[in-house]
Structure 1
């Protein structure tokens, strides 16, 4: 056979093996992947110094200290929901995995599971799981990698020989060089090429006796092909099998990727890992949004309790003056003081609720609670009614929920596993073939033949003789390995069938549970939105009551029968404001729960999950962009608006359905006066049992008399009464000059017609009968008395008690977000 023909065959074999070995992919060669792996911010010596001590982390001291209910004032950090979502995605925690009660972080500590430590819910830790599963795919593919096996060995053989004619084989020097390139094929077979050279050197006497070529080199090339025909035959079966069938002819060829599943199953595990990561992201988004609205409701609850405290404070000042004037009983002052203390305790409780709600939100978005600022939510809640099509929502839930996707992938895994087990039930039948080319010579260089002294020729250059291709051998064969009975294989097939049936039943059950949970959230959306209207109506009714009571006080003065009602309404109004905002927060949480139940909460929050590092042109992260936009909107909001123009801060800063602009902040986010911590310092009231003279009220015609009205210890200013309007159960219409607006209806000066008062002071004579002002002989009980105008308060009077002024409060509570 010519040399060119040998070269053609060798070149074809090398190209075939090289083409078969070109399916290997390398890890961490892409710059983005390398940057992602290097950006974990691990200590420099963590990988290179495994014997070093792992030092405990250091808690840095932040400005501001820890906030408490008595040290509550901190600079506000206005935060939108979008910023909370961005912070959670970058550095947050998943939180509790209870969709029916979201908004709480996970307080569970680390636990030891025998070989691993678990318990963290950091989204950074969970984000590494898909990368680990991707590396597992590389391990599974590696079982088809080509292998290069090379060896070199030397021997000295000197063995006793019983037969003299075999002595030359037992006394010689030997050496062997072998190099094999083997490639496991995707079909289950193995193709390989082996080059080897054997060296032998015999004694001189052996050469004389047997005419050996001494020393001799034997170069050899072997082409080997082996292929299973039944078990693990084909590309699909070998992508399912965890190991490669291997080779019986090529010794030492071992399959890599031991301990992994098949390629298709490993890729399925990657999809399941991604689905599980989507589940965790959905939980984190739901918890972050629920915690945000819980903090919103907590701030409104604090706002309501503080307003109640302010009203109780002003009520105490007002009641004290009336008790001193004798218009109210002294025990009323104790009741209003108890009201003040009750609201003060509720303010402390509301502060604790705010601090706890803020701690829950901070834990979900990865912020410490002692950074010296208060997180203040400024997004307006969504108040629009939402009534989606339930059937379409149910179809979306079946299609998009990641937990159902995880269950469907488990059924797919069971299907592929059953297919593999059925194939493994077949017998192991293999076909193999081998082709051998060899040469012989006394050395590896020089001429092709050597001429002896007697004229004989011997092979000289072994490679020259090998290239001449004079010695060829080939082998063909089949091998069958079959168990009798297939008991183990049949049992594995039956287990795979049962596992597939179990997984399918679980899938249908999970789909039914998903639909039922969607029904619950659908009803909750409708219910929570419906609760807002009666809660708002209750709050508005109580606000109207408070406004009318204040107007009545300005017109008629205090009435004993309204005192307890006023105390009750103060409590009810504070509770109504808290209940309304809690209903609004519950509605927005219900919207998030409904999107979670549909599996579309990521789209609802404009979140998408991808692989790899962010593109290099993205210089800043989302949280930084949102933070800058929010701060700019706050600054622009404080600028004056030109007449007929649009506010500069009116641009969108949140998702659809949230805050459209920052033109209006929630009342608790505005700058407000501090709440009173204690009651004003009042002089100790006199004992009501002490006898006190009661002067007569002035009558018409007594121009020289001093206009005094209940003077227990000095002159007291009372609220002005309406001019010309009698007081009683049936109030007649206002009569005047025909002015429809009633311009003098609330005039603070002039004469007023009021019923004859009955003071609550005991009689001076001690008889126990109530003392009444003296009147003329023609006066009768129930007659009306006309009083002169009240004294001018602009003149100083030393007899009026000095009362410290409290913080200014609005006559009514400000409207809540949403145009309430």
Structure 2
């Protein structure tokens, strides 16, 4: 009873303690614990810097402060043709740089996004090393960007393999023998010394077979009493062959999957298909990706080049408007001083606001110019700022370009890099399906081995003595070379899975992969067709809009002159004149916007039909190899030429390539291209007669009587070639004479018509252009103000009668201190 009560009390006590303790975890108790764990804190969470010593390139270390509105007085103009820009870009493009086509947004707003492709993901950068990295690939999925083997690594599976081994062993063990009466015959303590040597060469053949030649030598010395000699030597030379007859047989299969895939195909068979042909396709895909990367870079380069040209023209238009607004403000201010008609306070404020509006537009246009020039510098691999400001010297063409739709449509389906890459992927899937179908065959191997054998008391002894094996003085080498002992074996090995579930699954998987890639190709071709259609549509649109905007600019020039003349006699209010000046600046900007977009549209057609590199005169070729490589290649070529060709018969692989891709159809860079050739119509077309309106007068002097040199921008554009040649050449330009004046509302006279037909302008190149302010040439000074004031009229306006805005040539008509 007492024991039962004690057990009950103990149980209740334990339950109480358990309930009191709850579920709170308790740290264990350790002896000799001091409680200081600071030496274990923050060890794994520290941010450390790698010990890597690299030297930045000069364009990084020597970069100067960026050009801004506050820092725009210490640079030189650097005139570059598009050909020179392309050349510098390619020379500095170890890493293929691009802006993703984001030079501007729909032709309206210049992108303010700095290049972040490398900073966001440098591991995915496309470089000139990529094709070589793929070609020199050595393994499967290694976790790096360039997984898979190259052609040389795949060919290495057919290399002969030399292996050799040499081992010695000593045995000392008791024996469980019960014949104690014969201790010499059955020794209870066994002692033995052995040696094994083996050397052989194994070679995988292209038909799937394996050949080997091997030499084996075995030494044995022990205390077994039944032996004639205490030690003996065995030597043999053997040759073996194993040739698959069904599964894994044939040149085609082994070039697709590789010889090792046949013996290692367990689990996912598709991961083992990595033979020579698959490695070659991998290299071809990498080359196509590299070509597409260079193509995209050239697209961005040309986009940036013409966008920079537009920025100069936009700045020109805004400065023209600013000059006109400044002159108008001066005239109103003069009337405001004497309280004359047209000099009311609201009129003066309105003219002043118009000037500051144009000044804001000039500052924005100048900053955009600096920004786009920096984007072009990035694509060229130059420093962000190096004391020079790039200025395009090529002129955009205004000649119409016409492409024959069936011709360029079929050409785009042949030459687009994306289509060619997808076709390589389809070819890979086709080859994988061929290899997968081979698994549906049972495994039947023909095996054979032949061996010459020798044995003796010693391994080798010279001279030969003719003693039989295992007698005193016999040698294994002499017995081997006598040929008295020969062995052979031959047979068939057969293996077949019941049901072929895994082979059928593999074939089905390969068929689905092939069907998927073919479906992707069909939609890819549809996408290419739509892209080319949009490019041609934009080409015609931009050409028509360019004509229309030119007529609009011409009309706005006439309107400004007419309104200015009527305003002088007080018949219209000032706001009509200010609005006309604003519309003229917008029309001039719109014309150059559409002109630049038209030239970019020409480039886009070539981009969409796959001829952009040829359009820019760019050809891709392999870089030079070391001299030893050329020596080895010549030696191998001589060896192949002297060798006997082996006809593999029905096992010969099917054709997988149509030969070298011709980058320039019809040129010496490759065989003559048999595909379509674009049709070019270089003759300028005139706009509709009703859209031309009155022709602008052409004069060698502006309305102020200041002599103007002919401006060649529109002239050379009208005579420019329709399609850019492979070797780009700069068009000649003529800058206006220094000291040309833009005065009053007549600043920026009516432009000449680059679209005029031959019955309107007989020779557009010889005809002088009208006076158009030119940001590419010398500064054009404005007349100085009579009254003191801020240099550019930007100081805070004080309502005083004698406060008149002033302007200087440095900050309105030219770059502030910039060297010309």
TM-score tier, shorter chain, comes to 0.5 to 0.7
Aligned residue in 1 for 2:743: none
Provide, for residues 326-384 of structure 1, a one-character-per-residue CA deviation record: whole Å limited to 9, x for no partner: 14232322221111111111111111211221222222222222222211111100211
Q: Secondary structure at the match of 1:596?
A: helix
CA distance in 2, matches of 1:290, 1:364: 11
1:217 lines up with 2:225 in the alignment: no
Aligned residue in 1 for 2:680: none
Aligned residue in 2 for 1:65: 65
Decide whether the 8 Å contact of 1:226 with 1:247 is kept in 2: no
Provide structure 1 residue ranges, at least 5 long, that are not aligned to the other structure.
1-50, 249-257, 617-639, 642-646, 688-712, 714-800, 812-820
Aligned residue in 2 for 1:437: 452
Q: Secondary structure at the match of 2:383?
A: coil
Aligned residue in 2 for 1:668: 775
Bigger CA drift: 311-320 or 390-399? 311-320
CA distance in 1, matches of 2:68, 2:781: 16
Q: Secondary structure at the match of 2:260?
A: coil
1:426 lines up with 2:434 in the alignment: no
Q: Secondary structure at the match of 2:775?
A: helix
Q: Using a 3 Å threshold, how does the CA distance of structure 1 residues 318 and 246 change in structure 2: closer, same or farther?
A: closer
> How many pairs were matched up?
595
Aligned residue in 2 for 1:696: none
Aligned residue in 1 for 2:205: 185
How big is the shift at 1:682? 13
Higher Cα radius of gyration? 1
Decide whether the 8 Å contact of 2:616 with 2:725 is kept in 1: no
Matches within 5 A, 1:598-609: 598-609=609-620
Matches within 5 A, 1:444-459: 444-449=460-465, 458-459=472-473
Decide whether the 8 Å contact of 1:305 with 1:346 is kept in 2: yes
Provide, for residues 55-112 of structure 1, a one-character-per-residue CA deviation record: whole Å limited to 9, x for no partner: 5766955375211123223211112111222233233444244599699787346689
Aligned residue in 2 for 1:569: 580
How big is the shift at 1:54? 1.7
Aligned residue in 2 for 1:817: none
TM-score for both structures, normalised by structure 1: 0.66
Decide whether the 8 Å contact of 1:149 with 1:181 is kept in 2: yes
Q: Secondary structure at the match of 2:150?
A: helix
Q: Using a 3 Å threshold, how does the CA distance of structure 1 residues 810 and 469 change in structure 2: closer, same or farther?
A: closer
CA distance in 2, matches of 1:179, 1:684: 103
CA distance in 1, matches of 2:208, 2:796: 98
TM-score for both structures, normalised by structure 2: 0.66
CA distance in 2, matches of 1:130, 1:159: 57
CA distance in 2, matches of 1:96, 1:587: 20
Q: Using a 3 Å threshold, how does the CA distance of structure 1 residues 132 and 671 change in structure 2: closer, same or farther?
A: farther
Q: Using a 3 Å threshold, how does the CA distance of structure 1 residues 439 and 242 change in structure 2: closer, same or farther?
A: closer
How big is the shift at 1:661? 2.9
Provide structure 2 residue ranges, at least 5 long, that are not aligned to the other structure.
1-48, 139-148, 180-184, 265-270, 628-708, 711-715, 737-773, 783-789, 814-820
Aligned residue in 1 for 2:257: 241
Aligned residue in 1 for 2:595: 584
Q: Using a 3 Å threshold, how does the CA distance of structure 1 residues 324 and 127 change in structure 2: closer, same or farther?
A: farther
1:462 lines up with 2:476 in the alignment: yes
Decide whether the 8 Å contact of 1:448 with 1:465 is kept in 2: no
How big is the shift at 1:219? 1.8
Q: Secondary structure at the match of 1:231?
A: coil
How big is the shift at 1:548? 4.8
Q: Secondary structure at the match of 2:370?
A: helix
How big is the shift at 1:316? 1.9
CA distance in 2, matches of 1:246, 1:502: 26
Decide whether the 8 Å contact of 2:393 with 2:733 is kept in 1: no
CA distance in 1, matches of 2:796, 2:430: 84
How big is the shift at 1:684? 7.8
Decide whether the 8 Å contact of 1:447 with 1:460 is kept in 2: no
Provide, for residues 121-148 of structure 1, a one-character-per-residue CA deviation record: whole Å limited to 9, x for no partner: 4544656555456962211111111111
Decide whether the 8 Å contact of 2:175 with 2:188 is kept in 1: no
Provide, for residues 271-317 of structure 1, a one-character-per-residue CA deviation record: whole Å limited to 9, x for no partner: 11111112211111111111111111111111111111112222222
CA distance in 2, matches of 1:587, 1:158: 94
Provide, for residues 384-438 of structure 1, a one-character-per-residue CA deviation record: whole Å limited to 9, x for no partner: 1011100100001000001011111111111111111110222221111111111
Decide whether the 8 Å contact of 1:189 with 1:246 is kept in 2: no
Provide, for residues 592-646 of structure 1, a one-character-per-residue CA deviation record: whole Å limited to 9, x for no partner: 1111110110111011111123999xxxxxxxxxxxxxxxxxxxxxxx99xxxxx
| Equivalent residue in structure 2 for 1:285, among 298, 304, 310 | 298
CA distance in 1, matches of 2:337, 2:581: 23
Matches within 5 A, 1:379-390: 379-390=394-405
Matches within 5 A, 1:601-620: 601-613=612-624
Q: Secondary structure at the match of 2:413?
A: helix
Aligned residue in 2 for 1:501: 515
Bigger CA drift: 226-235 or 656-665? 656-665
Decide whether the 8 Å contact of 2:193 with 2:222 is kept in 1: yes
